[in-house]
Amino acid sequence: MDTIAFQGLIGLSLAMYLWLISAGLTIIFGVLRIVNFAHGSLFMVGAYLAYTFYGQLGLPFWLAVPLSLLGTGLLGFVMERGFLRRIYGIDEAYQLLLTFGFILILDDAVKLIWGGVFKIPPIPGFLDGAWRVFGRAFPVYNAFIIAVGLAVAAGLWALFEKTWWGRTVRATASDREMASAIGINVPRVFSGVFVFGSMLAALGGALGTPVRVVAPGIGAAMIIQAFIITVIGGLGNLKGAFVSSLIVGILSAYGTLFFPVFELFFIFVIMAVVLLVRPQGLFAR
């Protein structure tokens, strides 16, 4: 029983990484109606930047993370402003192709700049150690991740419900022509949302650096998982993304425990089941 509860906590912390990357993807889709295939690559860039600032340059962790967010946000800005914006009007297939091209570039660029070998920087001192939970040692860092994930969920809710910017974004999401007609600078909102979503992905990557592998290819792995989560939760549905992240994260953790051989395959099975039983997603209206 304790093992189950403990594994559930592990799953919860895993879910938070998934949540951070899915939240960004969902928000960008909800407003711009674009699926950024390279979103996982932004997660990866966030991780590499954080590794550089924290692991290589020795900056304190609480400084390295925001810096990596800024760097990735800048990259997202270039992607949207320089490229995506010019092809908004045409067939969405070309938007997908463009972002697919970005994955190809970023995945190799990362190898070019940082080398192909993977890195594992140390855990920042004040977050090191473990607590005794359910009779096992639960890493403090995992608890930190869970806290951040929940804070982001609460923060996003507050942002979109209560703030002026959040309302502007929601208006643009629901009807961009109307928003433009009442004076909202829609292109600027688009850029802002894209950068914001990119930074969320980068946050997941940056926070993951001390405990996860920093390697080329983690971006692709993450985007697949983010896709699976949006399939389960429904595209564009933030609440659905959160709950689905929890489901996938926790079930994955149990999958690792009980069916270790099928670990990777497991979450595809979940997705296939959802696709068969409720194709529009568990939380679609």
Partner 1 sequence: MIERTSRPLALVVGVVVLALFLLPLLAGRYPLYLAIQILILSVFSLGFNLLFGYTGLLSFGQAGFFAVGAYGCAKILLAVPNLLLGLAGGVVAAGAAALILGILSVRHTRIYFSMLTLAFGMMIYSIAWKWRDFTGGDDGLVGIPRAPIQIPGLLNLSLATMERYYYVVLVVSILAILIMHRLVRSPLGLTLQAIRDSESRAEFAGIPVRRYRLIAFTIAGLYAGLAGALLPPLENTVTPPIAHWSTSAEPVLATLMGGVHVFGGPIVGAFLFFMIKDIIVRFTEYWLIWLGVIVVALVMGFRGGVASIFAR
Q: Which residues are at the interface with partner 1 (CB under 8 A)?
A: 35, 37, 83, 86-87, 90, 92-94, 96-98, 100-109, 111-112, 220, 223-224, 227-228, 230-231, 235, 261, 264-265, 268, 271-272, 275-276, 279
Question: Shortest gap between Cβ of 35 and partner 1 (angstroms)?
Answer: 5
Measure the CA–CA gap between 230 and 155, rounded to whole angstroms: 20
Q: Among residues 117 and 276, whose Cβ is nearest to partner 1?
A: 276
Q: Among residues 5 and 264, whose Cβ is nearest to partner 1?
A: 264
Question: Shortest gap between Cβ of 229 and partner 1 (angstroms)?
Answer: 11
Q: Among residues 45 and 228, whose Cβ is nearest to partner 1?
A: 228
Q: What's the one-letter identity of residue 92?
A: E
Q: Among residues 12 and 44, whose Cβ is nearest to partner 1?
A: 44
Question: Shortest gap between Cβ of 162 and partner 1 (angstroms)?
Answer: 30
Q: What's the one-letter identity of residue 6?
A: F
Beta strands in 31-186 (DSSP E): 130-133, 136-139
Judged by DSSP in three states, 19 sits in helix
Q: CA angle at residue 84 from 81 to 89, to 5 degrees?
A: 120
Residue 50 in tokens: 């954080």
Question: Shortest gap between Cβ of 224 and partner 1 (angstroms)?
Answer: 5
Q: Among residues 148 and 173, whose Cβ is nearest to partner 1?
A: 173
Question: Shortest gap between Cβ of 115 and partner 1 (angstroms)?
Answer: 12
Q: Among residues 1 and 277, whose Cβ is nearest to partner 1?
A: 277
- Whether 232 and 248 have beta carbons less than 8 Å apart is answered as yes
CA separation (Å) from 144 to 127, 129, 205?
A: 8, 12, 14
**Residue 77 C-alpha from the chain's centroid:** 17
- Whether 53 and 3 have beta carbons less than 8 Å apart is answered as no
Question: Which is it for strands 130-133 and 136-139: parallel, antiparallel or unpaired?
Answer: antiparallel
Question: Shortest gap between Cβ of 152 and partner 1 (angstroms)?
Answer: 23
